[in-house]
Structure 1
Amino acid sequence: MESSQLQQIPKKSLKNNVYFKITTIIIIVLLLLVPTAMVHNLIQEREQTQNQAIEEVSSKWAGAQTLVAPVLSIPYIKYVRETSKKDTTEKIVAVKDYIHILPDNLEITGTINPEKRNRGIYDIVVYNSKVEITGTFKALDFSALDILPQNIKLDKTEFVVGIDDLRGIEKQVELQWNNQQLFFNPGVSSTDVVASGINAAVLVDPLQKENYRFKLTLDLKGSQNLYFVPVGKVTDVKLNSSWPNPSFTGAFLPDSRSVAESGFKANWNVLHLNRNYPQMWTGSRFDLDASAFGIDLLLPVDNYQKAYRSVQYAILFIGFTFLVFFFIEVLNKVFIHPIQYILVGVALIVFYTLLLSISEHISFDLAFIVSALSTLLLIAGYVRAILKSSKLTLLLSAILVILYAFIFVIIQLQDYALLIGSIGIFVILALSMYFSRQIDWYNLNLSEKANKNE
């Protein structure tokens, strides 16, 4: 090896030089944490850019939708004591509040037709859906509320359907209320239950003993998520779609589901005993959204999450590569300059930027292979140039291949990442202890081979 790569180290200072080299390597590893953190930030920035693209498309299409359907909201007058701020006298004032009644039986059947939209290099999932809502309300009985009948404004009863983003409504919505056909109006009179939605004025009769039947069909579009709130005493939701990668989320999972390449089918059955609010109440006492459930139309691969997980092992990757370099120095009595350590470390970090940028255009697995192969060839060529040894180059290349394969397996096996990672670190430690077991750290001699290679 040329004198610029190999240096003769006097015996007297050998001990100090070994410790100095170890200290130098540790400092280099710590310094490389700075660009590693920059890669972390870059991944987060790209992910944020993707989220902004999703929000931009959603703002022009329609956002995630949550259906709260239906609720009967009936205004009533209640009397409360009010204290005057001027003379501290009390007086009785009339205040309008609302009675909210949920259906006895609720059946929802929906078909979701997803589409992929593009904003730059990013894919966004939007959907059109047709949702049919049927069910019944029990005959009205206000005895449990302790409200005088004359204070209840039955002629102002509203049939309310909560919809998060009203831009998603594509057609006029008609309501069949018993034998009547009614049309909806935008907005809601009370925000006790829902903040946004549509309403229809319906006729109710306190003397009627029969249940009220209702039916409506909703053509609704949205982005990525579609949720339902189980407002029925018995709520049955059936969904089907051609999307092959659904994520069933929320307060309840489907009672039955089937997922295939051609799409999915799912069925939820929720009882009023499964949620924490009654069938009838007054005011804004309860948060219905906490019981929402539904689907998330996931994209097949989240490249940023996988890239982020791979970067988490960067310090292990760099540290072990440097450890191999150090053992090569010790066992083969050569000297590798700290600058050469730094260049190899930077190459290892550039792998992650390659992985991130390439995975935005092709599949993550293929991007990983391309990035790993490029980095491997770069480091192997550099090691061959500085060590002048094909044997050592092949050894280091084989170790890097094993490391990249190890990281790739961990990324794929998300549920077992901790187990596989722990076993891998244990094996690395065991191999390091095995190959260093016979090294006499106080009597190393690098000078002989250095002289031969000069």
Structure 2
Amino acid sequence: MSTLERLNEWARRSVTLKLLVIGVMILFLLIPTSMLDGLIRDRQSLRDSAQTEVASKWGLQQTVGGPVISVPYRYQVLDAEGKTLTTSGYAHFLPDEINIEGTLNPEERYRGIFVVVLYNTRLQVTGHFGAYDAAALNIPETALQWEDAIFSIGLSDMTGVQAAIDLRFGDTTRSLGPGTITNDLFDSGASTAVTVTGAEQRTDFSFSLDLNGSSALYFRPFGKRTTVQLSGGWGNPSFDGSFLPQEREVSPAGFTATWEVLQLNRNYPQQGTGAYIGKSSRGYVDGGYVEGGYYPDGAVSENDVLGLRLLLPVDEYQKTYRSTSFAVLFIFITFLTFFFIEVLNKRKVHPVQYLLIGAAIILFYVLLLSISEHLLFASAYWLSCAAVVTLITGYSWFILRNLKLTLLVAGILVILYVFFYSLLQLQDYALLVGSLGLLLILATIMWLTRNIDWYQLNREE
């Protein structure tokens, strides 16, 4: 026998070399496994783009803020050098009480194969302003130009406004126009001039909003006491923001929720000047905090809101992404099964055959992703499982030519897919069940190999 023939025979029989080759193949299969994550993210991005395209024409997620009374001011001061400087801006006064009641009417629309969650909400907003505490501002009271006061509300996406906004303010009725005059408070919204003297002790207001939006609805708690009562026909809401509802009831038919937020729960006062809640850092004149009720720029987080998100019952991409985290472990256990078949039953499996089996395992996740875009995740999982188990089982028959061993491979694959599916369904106990499952797998391997004389196998090389 020539040296080359002896080398080939050693390579064919060497258990150590086979283990090294299997390890290299597992590392090689990490490349397409990592590409699965990129494929899922691409499909998610495509879905998000489709949802944004539809929502932009209907109305994006809405954030309702206000109402607020903004009063312009202007006064002169002397600097250190005796020069006269003119300071101007807006002083903002928040309501004592805001009550919001509304219903949310959601619907699902499709852009291709992707679902978009849209809604229409009709809100009734009532409340009152108390006495205007102009003395709390760090400006002369005579600088306030009450005759030019503005009533404004913030709406994050004006595309969703479906009807005129008629305001009842005190004894007068006005219609709000587009724009907020000053951008200290909101980037977009509606406003109107109101008659205010600054001496009022109480002024009631009320108005209705008919809004279209998508995915989420939020409110800013601008009152000393803000209450929101919301109901809707969506059975899977996610209550979001900085404040959870005091009362809520969720059923498959819909939800009802009630929030109540006090002034003390916020981090900004009832009156002030300059930049305000939810604004990004900008160079306002009144940007820094000083005594007297200034709203320091960026002092309040954009997350200082209450509201909810309308979640889809199943996010197939999230579950598919979670399932890919088990891909490497699945490949490892499957390869280990064939390796022990080789060792214990003297059946030889070529490295190319290992690679083809690994490719079939990876194909499972591609099938799962593509089918889950059209069917429920559970149906997609078991259809993909049936296809891949059938493929690998049939291939194993041609490799092993042994019915008992082929059925063993099929049984192990089915057990693995059932086990990993159960992990996907668990939330709180996924780590516990997963670790116990791995312990059981390791114990089984140790039991099956307890009588193998590995040194004897090496001497047979």
Give me the TM-score of the superposition, normalised by structure 2.
Answer: 0.90
2:341 is aligned with 1:328: yes
Partner of 1:207: 199
CA distance in 1, matches of 2:226, 2:31: 54
Partner of 1:314: 327
CA distance in 2, matches of 1:251, 1:318: 43
2:374 pairs with one of 350, 361, 365: 361
Secondary structure of 2:182's counterpart equals: coil
* Alpha-carbon shift at residue 324 of structure 1 (Å): 0.7
Partner of 1:274: 265
2:224 pairs with one of 219, 233, 242: 233
Does the 8 Å CA contact 1:193/1:287 hold for their aligned counterparts? no
* Alpha-carbon shift at residue 207 of structure 1 (Å): 2.7
| Coordinate RMSD, CA, aligned | 2.1
Partner of 2:313: 300
Matches within 5 A, 1:411-430: 411-430=424-443
1:260 pairs with one of 247, 251, 259: 251
* Alpha-carbon shift at residue 424 of structure 1 (Å): 1.6
* Alpha-carbon shift at residue 223 of structure 1 (Å): 0.8
Partner of 2:52: 55
* Alpha-carbon shift at residue 213 of structure 1 (Å): 0.3
Does the 8 Å CA contact 2:162/2:212 hold for their aligned counterparts? yes
2:422 pairs with one of 398, 409, 414: 409
CA distance in 2, matches of 1:118, 1:29: 40
**Unpaired stretches in structure 1, ≥5 consecutive residues:** 1-7, 84-88, 448-454
2:106 is aligned with 1:114: yes
1:182 pairs with one of 158, 174, 188: 174
Amino acid paired to 1:70? P
Partner of 1:4: none
Partner of 2:364: 351
Matches within 5 A, 1:90-101: 91-101=83-93
**Unpaired stretches in structure 2, ≥5 consecutive residues:** 276-295
Does the 8 Å CA contact 2:11/2:17 hold for their aligned counterparts? no
Secondary structure of 1:289's counterpart equals: coil
Does the 8 Å CA contact 1:229/1:289 hold for their aligned counterparts? no
Give me the TM-score of the superposition, normalised by structure 1.
Answer: 0.92
Partner of 1:193: 185
CA distance in 1, matches of 2:445, 2:301: 57
1:26 pairs with one of 19, 23, 28: 23
CA distance in 2, matches of 1:171, 1:96: 34
CA distance in 2, matches of 1:307, 1:369: 13
Amino acid paired to 2:24? I
Does the 8 Å CA contact 2:133/2:271 hold for their aligned counterparts? no
How many residue pairs match? The answer is 434
* Alpha-carbon shift at residue 118 of structure 1 (Å): 0.7
Does the 8 Å CA contact 2:106/2:233 hold for their aligned counterparts? yes
CA distance in 2, matches of 1:68, 1:293: 11
Amino acid paired to 1:32? L
Change (3 A) 1:143 1:230: same
Does the 8 Å CA contact 1:78/1:97 hold for their aligned counterparts? no
1:242 pairs with one of 222, 233, 242: 233
* Alpha-carbon shift at residue 17 of structure 1 (Å): 0.8
Aligned identity (percent) is: 45
Secondary structure of 2:14's counterpart equals: helix
Amino acid paired to 1:143? A
1:144 pairs with one of 136, 141, 144: 136
CA distance in 2, matches of 1:54, 1:227: 19
Amino acid paired to 1:242? G
2:387 is aligned with 1:390: no
Change (3 A) 1:14 1:268: same
Regions of 4+ moved over 6 Å: none
* Alpha-carbon shift at residue 159 of structure 1 (Å): 1.0
